[in-house]
Amino acid sequence: MRRITIWLLSTVAALVLLFSYRTSTMGAGGPGSATASGPDGSAGGGSSWTGTDDATGPDPSGGGTPAGRGGPSGPGRPGGTGTATGAVAQTRWGPVQVRITVAGGKITGVSTLRVPDGNRRDQQINGYAVPILRQETLAAQSARIDTVSGATVTSDGYRESLQSALDAAHLD
């Protein structure tokens, strides 16, 4: 009877320890590690646009498509020029944030401001995934890009932040 009691208590203790152990890959866990902040360190993390929307100047209403302008591929769309920063996308492994450069209504550059980098594996995954996502974005000129195998979470966060940047730039 004594052996059974000791075995049962040690099993319960082992299970409690096992389920309470947090690995380094269980996502952002430290204070401030998943906070939304802009590229300048300010609080927030929403999308922003710096530039002109078209030949008539910026949209005076501060959002949406200016009146009288067609959609992203619509007739009469001269296109904007500038940069748009996407909102911070909170993922299971950490925040992802993208900035696009737009010229003539086309995406000419993409930079990744934030990706999960809490450990060596995160850095390894993002080291190969981010260039692929960047190339896909430039080719597709939209957020309709494929997920990179092995980097599903980062790909999803990248697409979410990219769509936010595209919305801020009044693109697709």
- Write the CATH number for 99: 3.90.1010.20
> Which distant-in-sequence residues (6+ apart) come within 8 Å of 147 by Cβ?
155, 156
User: Does 110 fall in a domain?
Assistant: yes
User: Does 52 fall in a domain?
Assistant: yes
User: Does 68 fall in a domain?
Assistant: no
Give the pLDDT confidence of 61-110 residue by residue, as tens digits: 344 433 333 344 333 334 678 888 889 989 888 899 999 988 888 888 99
Mean pLDDT of the region 33-53: 47
Q: Cβ–Cβ contacts within 10 Å for residue 127, how many?
A: 12
Confidence bin at 23 (pLDDT 50/70/90): low
User: Does 106 fall in a domain?
Assistant: yes
Residue 116 sits in which domain range? Answer: 45-58+77-172
Domain count, the chain: 1
User: Does 1 fall in a domain?
Assistant: no
Q: What is d(CA 89, CA 97) in angstroms, rounded to the nearest whole number?
A: 6
Give the pLDDT confidence of 124-137 residue by residue, as tens digits: 988 999 999 999 99
